[in-house]
Structure 1
Amino acid sequence: MLGWALTFAVLAIVAGLLGFVSLAGLAATVAKVLFVVFLVLLVASFVIRAVRGQSVL
């Protein structure tokens, strides 16, 4: 999921440089949403592993 977020971020940068402002905005929004979802799942995974008594790292 982090890979997809980075892909959309790069797409947003390239589209912005080429002048496709609406496409760049959309790609940046998708990248932000995917990154937040990734962070939420990462924290949830750490919490679940800590509750079970397993190593979080």
Structure 2
Amino acid sequence: MAPLGSLYTAGTTGAKGKMGGLSSTATDVSVWLDAMENVVQKQALERERFQ
């Protein structure tokens, strides 16, 4: 997976960028980042449950 700093995150203008070596629109990247944020939040909740 590409390092976070290499992701193209220029809003939702439809500009093309690279994400993990694949061509993606800024909207695709935004959706992916939102999904990853949800994953991190869910993992944090699970971790709290087991502590």
* Structure 2: unaligned runs, 5 residues or longer: 17-23
Identity of aligned residues (%): 20
More strand by share: 2
Unaligned runs of 5+ in 1: 13-20
Query: Does 2:32 correspond to 1:41?
Result: no
The TM-score with structure 1 as length reference comes to 0.53
Number of matched pairs: 41
Greater helix share, structure number: 1
Distance 2:36 2:27 in 1: 14
Q: Which structure's CA Rg is the greater one?
A: 1
TM-align CA RMSD: 3.2
Distance 1:3 1:49 in 2: 24
Give 1:3 shift: 4.4
Report 1 or 2 for greater relative contact order, CA contacts < 8 Å, sequence distance ≥ 6. Answer: 1
TM-score normalised to structure 2 length? 0.58
